[in-house]
């Protein structure tokens, strides 16, 4: 494959970020809390749908 950018230099690959376990832990806990909150609300939503079908 010919080099299409003959005059331009290749940029070095970006440096990998070090894994920060503290931020990963906090992000995971926040995500799990959001999922738990959604599931609790969704469970209530299903009850309202069933009630709506009965009263309809």
Query: Per residue in 7-31, pLDDT tens?
Result: 666 777 788 878 788 888 999 999 9
Q: What is the pLDDT of residue 31?
A: 93
Q: What is the pLDDT of residue 44?
A: 80
For every residue of the chain, DSSP letters joined together read ---S-SSSPPPPPPPPPPP-HHHHHHHHHHHHHHHHHHHHHHHHHHHHHHHHHHH-
Q: How far is CA 25 from the centre of its chain?
A: 14
**Mean pLDDT score across all residues of the chain:** 81
- Rounded to 5 degrees, φ, ψ at 22 are -65, -45
Q: What is the pLDDT of residue 28?
A: 93
pTM above 0.85, yes or no: no
Token pair for 15: 């440096």
């Amino acid at each position: 494959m010919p080099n299409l950018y003959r005059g331009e230099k290749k940029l070095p690959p970006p440096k990998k970020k070090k894994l920060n376990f503290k931020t990963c832990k906090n992000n995971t806990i926040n995500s799990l809390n959001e999922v738990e909150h959604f599931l609790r609300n969704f469970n209530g939503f299903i009850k309202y749908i069933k009630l709506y079908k009965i009263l309809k």
